[in-house]
Amino acid sequence: MSSTSLSRSAPDLLAFRPYVDAFFDQRTCSVQYVVSDPASGACALIDPVLDYDEKSGCTATTSADALLTYVLEQNLTVEWILDTHPHADHLSASGYLKDQTGAKTAIGEQVVAVQRLWKGIYNLPDDFPTDGSQWDRLFADGDVFRIGDMDASVMFSPGHTLASVTYVIGDAAFIHDTLFMPDFGTARCDFPGGDARALWRTIQSILSLPEHTRLFSGHDYRPGGRAPAWESSVASQKAHNIHLKQAGTEEQFVALRKARDVTLPMPKLILHALQVNLAGGRLPVPESNGLRYLKIPLDALPCAVWE
């Protein structure tokens, strides 16, 4: 199996502390999460991965099925399937998991802006909806929802994408592609709709959470070949994040981020993944021969660095 699970810790009775279980996907360096309410056994699945091999065009549900197996073993009830943003480096398993569990799906409301932008790039049919109707709920900044007996809140977190959000659940914040582990730094901002200045302001909002807040990143690229890691804290990010230590002001950060981003190749699955992820993790419908096809626009990102 390509995922590893983070073992549970005992609940902290002095503060609201949901269980967080993490599953690291080796192929894409992505982290899927199961966050659950210790009292009710209700849970949410965050940023689930649909396995895809770009060489063969084959898909699989191994990573998503690991979440389902864990949920079953722990006697949890899936109430939500949450995406933090439209992912550019893996296909989302939200659609598949909704079919398996019946849970509600959700993403930030600004996904509609990303849909409109990429609908033009992909030249999608006129009837492709760009109203976010592929999800059950679109969250706005400040929205509050429930996972069992837990309150969860939403922070609009643009910069990496136009539509990114952070989910804050008790002492845990799921910060997707904003801050990575402190030894790797911060997320790139050079995708269509990305903005380094917006990312700086998002990071400041995340770092205004209480110092003990657990921060869960969406990826870990294992600098130096170390073991995968995904949990930090507000305090540790302030003290040790390599990009924030190098760039202490907004202008310095924007300059650092732009200089770094122009050296980076596009994620290898960006053109494969976004057309699926903008449809709520739904693969294209089969054509007359029963096969599904992805559409790859040529020269749509002409300034991208080649590997």
State how far the Cα of 186 lies from the Cα of 87, in Å rounded to an integer: 16
Cα–Cα distance measured from residue 31 to residue 49, given in angstroms and rounded to the nearest whole number = 8
pLDDT the model gives residue 15: 55
Residue 124 has pLDDT above 90, yes or no: yes
| pLDDT over 60 (residue 6) | no
Q: For residue 9, is pLDDT > 60?
A: no
Angle at alpha carbon of residue 108, lines to 60 and 84, rounded to 5°: 45
What is the average pLDDT across 262-272? Answer: 93
Going by C-alpha positions, the residue among 51, 55, 146 that lies closest to residue 106 is 146
Mean pLDDT on 95-105: 98
Once rounded to an integer, what is the mean pLDDT over residues 108-121? 96
Distance CA 269, CA 60 (A): 15
Of 1.20.120.640, 3.60.15.10, 1.20.59.10, 3.10.20.30, the CATH number of 19-277 is: 3.60.15.10
Mean pLDDT of all residues in 161-188: 96
Are the C-beta atoms of 5 and 32 separated by less than 8 Å?
Answer: no
pTM summary value: 0.94
Show the tokens assigned to 307.
Answer: 């590997």
- In the chain, where the domains are located: 19-277
* Residue 306, pLDDT score: 87
Q: Is the pLDDT of residue 1 over 80?
A: no
Return mean pLDDT, the chain: 94
What pLDDT is stored for residue 301 in this prediction?
A: 84
Judged against a pLDDT cut of 90, whether residue 11 lies above it is answered with no
Report pLDDT digits (tens) over 34-64: 999 999 999 999 999 999 999 999 999 999 9
Query: What average pLDDT score do residues 227-235 get?
Result: 98
Residues whose CB is less than 8 angstroms from the CB of residue 303 and which lie 6 or more positions away in sequence, other chains included: none
Q: Write down the pLDDT at residue 16.
A: 85
How many residues are given for the chain? 307
Res. 281: pLDDT tops 90: yes
- Looking at residues 223-233, what average pLDDT do you find? 97
